Amino acid sequence: MSLLNREVFWPPADELTEVAERIRARLGEWPAAESRWRICLTAPELPQADDLIVFTEHEQHDADIERLAKSGAAVLEARDGRVTLRRGDARFALEGEWSDDWLSALAAFLDCNFEPHDALTLALAWRAGDENKDDAWPADFANFPRVADLPAAPDGGFPACPDRLGLYPVLPSADWVERVLDLGVSTTQLRRKTTENADLQREIARSVEAGRRRDAQVFINDHWREAVAAGAYGVHLGQEDVQTADLNAIAKAGVRLGLSTHGYYEMLRALHFRPSYLALGAVFPTTTKVMPTKPQGLARLSRYVQLLSGRVPLVAIGGIDAKVMPDVLATGVRSAAVVRAVTEAPDTAAAVSSLQKMFAKS
């Protein structure tokens, strides 16, 4: 375990380190941390890139916080039931209650190779004594913090979609949507990469109509205005799109909403808006899209499903093909998005049939 024999807290804090090691020992095997974070309980004169500098609610050093936030180090403020993490221009704010062991838990989750904002989310969900459970991993949703400073969710949320969305091909054209729906797939997404508005409107209109004819769930990626205008079943948006899309207009139109997530913090952020489903990814490396985060892997996917199953429909996405599909479904997720496993298959019909059979067995 890499917490041993290295500086985890600065100045050295033997009691915190002892608790961190005890927690880490109960979290299981995880890849070695890519960054060796040092949790600074006092601001160092020369902060380093892998320093996470903590200010508690008993301190008031706003000028120092601003200076340190610009130094390349991460800065964490914990005050009055609110914890704010700053990394460069990024800001992550969480509210809730936490245990006295939260800093030790933060060190343990950082050592499991989680990004600081996800490690912080898990640390705030940790409760003293959790290390004595058979499964110590935080899995009680009621203990997780809330993401702060978000705009209000649309009244009533978004329409529901089936909990088992099943095989979910993400396709580049209406031709592909029609072809795959004809093979018996009931959920698909049009991800049209074009800047030509007329082409986009035609492709969306054809895809939406194909879904209506076959009583299928067809989602439109990104282009929510055109999807609403065409009366689409649903739209799929990324985390960054939540800042710019008119979620109230989407909900008012009765269009379902799927949101991409890439870890615990983004899952909590997305759930605030009460979407129709969450996409969890990227599970594996993918070449179809530039991803903002490293691959999640099956171990993380399994933990995400454990936390959120039954709360919202979940879709695994990213680098999934026929070879790994059984392992993906073994996590308990009930839908998986695929791209090249369908669009680059030598025999599309055979590929779809094989993938569909995997879902029937799960």
Q: Which residue has the tokens 């909590």?
A: 268
Quick one: 128 exposed, middle or buried, by C-beta within 10 A (0-12, 13-18, 19+)?
middle
Cis peptide before 282 (omega within 30 of 0): yes
Confirm whether residue 127 is marked as ligand binding: no
Confirm whether residue 287 is marked as ligand binding: yes
Confirm whether residue 190 is marked as ligand binding: yes
Q: How far apart are CA 283 and CA 156, in angstroms?
A: 31
Confirm whether residue 194 is marked as ligand binding: no
Q: How far apart are CA 169 and CA 191, in angstroms?
A: 10
Confirm whether residue 212 is marked as ligand binding: no
Cis peptide before 11 (omega within 30 of 0): yes
Confirm whether residue 258 is marked as ligand binding: no
Which residue, among 236, 237, 188, 191, has the nearest Cα to 211 in the 3D structure? 188
Q: CB of 205 within 8 A of CB of 225?
A: no
3-state secondary structure of 223: coil
Q: How far is CA 72 from the centre of its chain?
A: 25
Which residue, among 23, 117, 28, 2, has the nearest Cα to 299 in the 3D structure? 28
Confirm whether residue 192 is marked as ligand binding: yes
Confirm whether residue 286 is marked as ligand binding: yes
Question: Looking at this protein, which amino acid is placed at residue 101?
Answer: D
Confirm whether residue 357 is marked as ligand binding: no
Confirm whether residue 17 is marked as ligand binding: no
Q: How far apart are CA 345 and CA 196, in angstroms?
A: 28
User: Per the annotation, where are the binding residues for Mg(2+)?
Assistant: 222, 241
User: Per the annotation, where are the binding residues?
Assistant: 189-193, 221-222, 241, 260, 286-289, 319
